[in-house]
Chains A and B, each alone.
Chain A
Amino acid sequence: MLADTVLRWIEQTSLSSAIRQSDWAVMALEAVHLLGLALLGGAAVIATLRHADIRLRTFVRELRPVALTGFALMVLSGTLIALSMPFKYYNNTAFQWKMLLLVCAVFSTLRLARKPARVLALLSLILWLSVGFSGRLIGFL
């Protein structure tokens, strides 16, 4: 099977085995993943809510680098964690859901950015919360 071959190849790369065999690498990467979430999630919440005195447009513009830094940290750390144990994550139902929901959430958000609409905003919010919940569930399965 193709998937099997690719996963086996990933598992045998030196990057994957180095992270897997380290006592602290995955833990550190998970901590970075959460730090990224705090930056991205915090910036997203600020850019969503209405605030006293400061226009939303100002926040959206000024917090973009903060949000992008958080997103980059999450993608980088998340990818490395997944690569370290490709079979475990590929076969984890919560991980499969998370990836599916993540793709939906990204598309929904990109569409929302082009054409703001209340229903789409609500859908995006629910999708992102589901990404977070399925992410938390990975460790419970």
Chain B
Amino acid sequence: MALEWLYEQPWAVALRESENAYPLIETVHVLSIAIIVGTVVAVDLRVLGLILKTEPVTRVGRALLPTTWYGFLIMLLTGVPLFAAQAIQLYSNPAFRLKILLLALAGINALLFHRTTYRTVGDWDYANAAPISARAFAVTSIALWSAIIVSGRLIAVFHAR
């Protein structure tokens, strides 16, 4: 099975048995999530009209979302080895499953926002607060990313020792 193949990769075994590498990579992983969530929430708060009101929504997105993608890249580069090292345990961990599900939902939420409400951004780019549908996407985004952080923390609680 692919899971066992991944689990037995020499680098996955090395990471699993290391003393400092695992917490070090975990620290970088947590910080990468902070970069993603921090930038996403800043854009969401602009859509809600709570911060950066003097700047148009498109400009805030253009300024911050490239940083989000760098954070996303670091999250994957650290998250994949962290998963591989504990692949068997994590696969059956309910908190891990929930986290991946929530990540997918956050992605779908962002995609839907860009494919629907965001198409009319020209009409509300300079407005203090965006239309209700855009604000609903922003609130959902904040809720999903908060839940991703909480479920990430919960992984350790459910972790089979």
Chain B neighbourhood of A83, CB < 8 A: none
Chain A neighbourhood of B30, CB < 8 A: 34, 37, 132, 136
Chain A neighbourhood of B60, CB < 8 A: 54
Q: Is the CB of B38 within 8 A of A27?
A: no
Closest chain A residue to B63, Cβ basis: A51
Interface positions, chain B 33-62, Cβ under 8 Å from A, are 33-39, 41-42, 45, 51-52, 54-55, 59-60, 62
What number of residue pairs across chains A and B have CB atoms under 8 A from each other?
99
Chain A neighbourhood of B52, CB < 8 A: 54, 58-59, 62
Q: Is the CB of B39 within 8 A of A38?
A: no
Least Cβ distance of A9 to chain B in Å?
30
Could you say which of B27, B38, B150 contacts A43, with CB atoms under 8 Å apart? B38
Interface positions, chain A 1-27, Cβ under 8 Å from B, are 27
Could you say which of B36, B63, B145, B156 contacts A54, with CB atoms under 8 Å apart? B63
Closest chain A residue to B146, Cβ basis: A35
Q: Is the CB of A42 within 8 A of B37?
A: yes
Least Cβ distance of A132 to chain B in Å?
5
> A66 within 8 Å of B by Cβ?
yes
Report the count of interface residues on A (CB-CB < 8 A): 34
> B154 within 8 Å of A by Cβ?
yes
> B64 within 8 Å of A by Cβ?
yes
Q: Is the CB of A37 within 8 A of B34?
A: yes
CA distance A27 to B63 in the complex (A): 35
Q: Is the CB of B42 within 8 A of A63?
A: yes
Please name the 6 residue pairs, one residue from A and one from B, whose CB atoms are nearest each other, closest first.
A42-B38, A41-B34, A51-B63, A38-B37, A31-B150, A54-B63
User: B-contacting residues of A (Cβ < 8 Å)?
Assistant: 27, 30-31, 34-35, 37-46, 49, 51-54, 58-59, 62-63, 65-66, 129, 132-133, 135-137, 139-140
- What are 23 inter-chain pairs, A to B, with CB distance below 8 A? A31-B154, A35-B149, A37-B30, A38-B34, A38-B149, A41-B38, A42-B35, A42-B36, A42-B37, A42-B41, A42-B42, A43-B42, A44-B38, A45-B67, A46-B64, A51-B64, A51-B67, A52-B63, A54-B55, A58-B52, A132-B30, A133-B23, A136-B30
User: A-contacting residues of B (Cβ < 8 Å)?
Assistant: 23-24, 26-27, 30-31, 33-39, 41-42, 45, 51-52, 54-55, 59-60, 62-64, 66-67, 145-146, 149-150, 152-154, 156-157
